[in-house]
Structure 1
């Protein structure tokens, strides 16, 4: 156990060192991603360029095996349903609603299909991967709207809300919580559980200045977060505090699992959220992974540490979804 800066406790995973592949990823983030994010401006002109580059790189990745894909087109966006190959399980047996990360601006179904597929294989459940609208064509509120629409789609297709778990990494972690809060506000049922993987939960970039990880993170920067928030959330330089999930009405949320890298910027968000969830009476747990980078489990799902973290996510999902036979953990 370790005491966090907020005074809560979190389980430290991997305390005795990381794998060689994880160390390579850490070094790459330090030497490549960190300089890029500190030199390339983030604005409405550069976002589409970055998104195209990342999408192109994602197509070089082998497609995940062991899953069947179903493409769904909605009014303003799309989604895909990933099921373990040969599985006949319908949505009414349970599902994971997955929101990908990427700073509300980059990444999509192709970049995050490997992590979504891993969760589908491990849980034996359909995983609905949401291709929500992003910056600069839609603001963060528009992204939330699309994710709520995806949740409504799940409910219309027979999914029991108690058997649905929202999950997401980084900005997708934000959307998992923001979508749950917005759904409850609209009178929709709460999902059965929430999972945040290195989640952004507080849009107030000024709140991070005193946290040690503001300078320790291997590649994320407060400046990059500030640029995204200014484009996607601020109005005339003002940020509505209620856009940040940590400031929401948390008492009606379901049980929560938070996983983050020990030295990442968004550890601050997880610490603050665990403190507020506990005060609101919401069951929650937080795991900090030593020697890892922000969103390691979605960047490289096949890392030994990523596989272990996703196995823990899958166990959490299975505890939240009733009467599901144990799935294989390949």
Structure 2
């Protein structure tokens, strides 16, 4: 099912779009992907560590060796063993940057809206690890939740951008491994197809104020290339055995270039008979639900995610924040 969410023309949405157009897109277009400057990308996450946490949540830090995580719960919720379910959150950042701190606010708000523990995972990214390492870390984080007493079939995988890729890839992997199929998958502006031919021809190449589309191919090759500049099509979730997937919710911005991936995945999910919903939001930027502390439309999108989580787990959502 495809839904168009109109609106998003308020002053805050306009300001976010202008800031992205002036600062974010040019920076992402020209920042070196290799060399000394490329190693400064993690500083974004380091700087945002000073952001205070919401007092209504509590955090348990997890060291997984090659990955780190934060299990965020409603304050006073107690141990998660036997909980009705949990959310595994995989942050975006083009497999290059971002982490636990950059996505702290969206994770906390998902906790308060669902009433469930949310496990936010900082997986290996370039240059420390390529796509296979990122997916391996996400898989181990899923196993960690199961080992803590959450049934695999009661976990909802959520991710934005590159994290959306991992959320789908993890759910697909579960159908051929010793993993329970998750209860659902949520992709926020997910990057699902490493083949950028269709995206380069899409009208949103010019409209997107966030992502420089020409860089997608280059980053894809760095993440998953075979050494000759080619990425195996099997590594793109849109080309997987989608019939094995649980229910799916995808949210994207009307004018972003990754709308192309969102619509392609929705079409293929429909052909595979997978229950799904694609929401296309007007006036927003790439991965806008992450900005729930800033934009009313982002908070509305988080309400939709919480409702979806409640539906697939057959639980009631808690409250808004």
Paired position in structure 1 for 2:298: 306
Among 255, 258, 264, the residue aligned to 2:247 = 255
**Residue 191 of structure 2 corresponds to residue 200 of structure 1:** yes
The range that moved more, 255-264 or 86-95, is: 86-95
Paired position in structure 2 for 1:119: 110
Secondary structure of 2:201 counterpart: coil
d(CA) in 2 for partners of 1:277 and 1:91?
33
Paired position in structure 2 for 1:62: 52
d(CA) in 1 for partners of 2:97 and 2:49?
14
Secondary structure of 1:166 counterpart: strand
- For each residue in 1:205-225, what CA deviation from the matched residue of structure 2 results, as whole angstroms up to 9, or x when unmatched? 223122111221112012221
d(CA) in 2 for partners of 1:233 and 1:44?
19
Structure 1, unmatched stretches of 5+, are: 1-8
Off by >2 Å, runs of 4+ in structure 1: 16-19, 37-47, 59-65, 299-302
Paired position in structure 2 for 1:276: 268
Among 185, 206, 214, the residue aligned to 1:215 = 206
d(CA) in 1 for partners of 2:94 and 2:21?
19
d(CA) in 2 for partners of 1:170 and 1:134?
14
Residues 71, 119 of structure 2: 8 Å contact kept: yes
Paired position in structure 2 for 1:3: none
d(CA) in 1 for partners of 2:128 and 2:222?
11
**Residue 98 of structure 2 corresponds to residue 107 of structure 1:** yes
Paired position in structure 1 for 2:19: 28
Q: How does 1:11-90 map to 2 (within 5 A)?
A: 11-13=3-5, 15-52=6-43, 54-88=44-78, 90=80
d(CA) in 2 for partners of 1:222 and 1:41?
15
The range that moved more, 234-243 or 299-308, is: 299-308
Residues 73, 79 of structure 1: 8 Å contact kept: yes
Residues 47, 106 of structure 1: 8 Å contact kept: no
- For each residue in 1:53-110, what CA deviation from the matched residue of structure 2 results, as whole angstroms up to 9, or x when unmatched? x124313433233110001111321111000112236243210000000111101001
- Deviation for aligned residue 1:50: 2.0
- Deviation for aligned residue 1:162: 2.5
Q: How does 1:164-203 map to 2 (within 5 A)?
A: 164-203=155-194
Residues 177, 245 of structure 1: 8 Å contact kept: yes
d(CA) in 1 for partners of 2:17 and 2:130?
31
Residues 64, 113 of structure 1: 8 Å contact kept: no
d(CA) in 2 for partners of 1:44 and 1:190?
39
Secondary structure of 2:28 counterpart: helix
d(CA) in 2 for partners of 1:146 and 1:248?
20
Aligned length: 319
d(CA) in 1 for partners of 2:65 and 2:45?
22
Paired position in structure 2 for 1:151: 142
The range that moved more, 246-255 or 35-44, is: 35-44
Secondary structure of 1:92 counterpart: coil
- Deviation for aligned residue 1:157: 1.7
TM-score, with normalisation over the residues of structure 2? 0.95
Among 273, 285, 309, the residue aligned to 1:293 = 285
Q: How does 1:127-142 map to 2 (within 5 A)?
A: 127-142=118-133
